[in-house]
Structure 1
Amino acid sequence: MMNLGVDIIKAAVVAIDLHRGHLDMSVATMPTTPDVAVRIIAANKRLFDWCRTVNIPVIHQVTSYRDEAEIRANPFWRTRAEDPNATRKNVMRHNIIGGPGCTVMPDLLDPRDFIVSTKKRYDCFLGSDLDFLLKSHGINTLLITGVNTNSCVLATTTSANVRDYSVIVVEDCVDSMDGPAMHEAGLACIRTPFGFVMDTDAVMKLDGLKA
């Protein structure tokens, strides 16, 4: 039996930015590559379908901004918008409330799922009620999925770790619009000080994970 550092596992999926703003090539303002989108949607659907059968809740985190001012408050993001070669050059147009990007990919959403739609920064805990939702449901173990590995996944894993959650990043369910090297770098940063990295097959075999 793998030791996840908790006495009794109570898990939830924290699914980060699996929305049209990254994964629907027809409307995405900060898209992954099309092949990454197809693979990530399929991998997450497989995991989510299994989780729902064993009563592990799925919590979607959706980035959404009231206006450009909420984005421009971040100094580094201003510089990305000014660099035509940056992968994140469209950041000032990304997921403004009311736009199509602020919608979870339909194949990944189920009526039983939770949605936290107040995500403003890479860290899903910052300025949102994610921590309240997790604690009110007795969650102590997070299965983190989504994009991007080297920004939102890394930042949220770090934030979860310092809040004393046990964290598993599901390797086949995360990826990055910044390319394979940054994806692998994000996973390398996570493995050593912040949390476990394992694929869906390994997650499904974990003793004590099922509710």
Structure 2
Amino acid sequence: MNKLLGKCAVLTIDLHRGHLDPSVATLPLSTEQSERVVKENSEFLRQIRELNIPVIHVVTAYRSQEEILNNRYWKDIQSDDSASRKNILNHNLKDSAGLELMPGVFEDGDYVVDTKKRYNCFLHTDLKFLLDSLQIETLLITGVNTNSCVLATSTYASCLDYRVVIVKNCVDSMDGPELHEAALKVIESAYGSVKDSKQLLEELG
């Protein structure tokens, strides 16, 4: 346990093929972004495990398109060809390849929460139950998208009184660099810290 950060866990958000494998992704990041995100996360997680810090992967998964359409905004944008999430109805449906975590991300001993259906990883999942059972104080958050799932989860975690740290080089967004950077600024202004993985690992020691 680090004296400054308390008991930590890494929370990865949607590091699955549905975002990061261009061959099957329904809401893809660019190939360059995907390769970088997977590489940075794989290396960071390797070093984190050496420190015996728990790793928790949260994965979006839907039983049906009806579950997706319950979100009225997502329903509204289906006919908008300019919307970045216009393909949301086909995203990470049951039995699809997109549900799989990217190679190099998961290792035996990691935890997986695979019932996420909205941007906030806590909503209708057992994430808080798991964190409380592990007595976690600090969340080291990685994944995609910075301006949706990472932002929503970070703000909610802060409201639950977890210490939030965004691992800057391990997050990115399909919505472009401006919204990625804007989301980091919003989080750092009121909800948590934003740190490079090298700096964070040095602090964890």
TM normalised by structure 1 equals 0.94
| 2:76 aligned residue (75, 79, 82) | 79
Structure 1 partner of 2:92: 95
Partner residue of 1:122?
A: 119
Indicate which of 169, 172, 176 corresponds to 2:173: 176
Letter aligned with residue 198 of structure 2? D
* 1-structure distance, mates of 2:77, 2:26: 13
C-alpha RMSD of the superposition? 1.3
Match for residue 201 of structure 2?
A: 204
1:87 positional shift: 1.1
C-alpha separation in 2, matches of 1:56 and 1:181: 32
Does the residue aligned with 1:183 lie in a helix, a strand or coil? helix
User: Which of 31, 34, 41 is equivalent to 1:37?
Assistant: 34
2:182 matched residue in structure 1: 185
2:151 aligns with 154
Please name the residue that 1:139 is paired with: 136
Q: Count how many residue pairs are aligned between Structure 1 and Structure 2.
A: 204
For residues 44-77 of structure 1, what are the alpha-carbon distances to aligned partners after superposition, in whole Å with 9 as ceiling and x for unaligned?
A: 0111000100001110000000000110000111
SS at match of 2:74: helix
Moved over 2 A (4+): none
Deviation readout 1:87-117 (Å, 9 max, x if unpaired): 1110011000110001111211101110000
Cα distance in structure 2, aligned partners of 1:18 and 1:105: 6
Equivalent residue for 2:22? 25
Q: Does 1:59 align with 2:56?
A: yes
Deviation at 1:3, TM superposition (A): 8.4
The answer to whether the Cα contact below 8 Å between 1:80 and 1:91 also exists between their aligned partners in 2 is no
Specify the code of the residue in structure 1 equivalent to 2:154.
T
In structure 2, distance between residues paired with 1:180 and 1:144? 18
User: CA-to-partner distance for each residue in 1:10-37, whole Å, 9 max, x for gaps?
Assistant: 0000000000000000000000011000
Give the TM-score, by structure 2 length.
Answer: 0.97
Runs of 5+ unmatched residues, structure 2: none
Which runs of 5 or more residues in structure 1 are unaligned? none
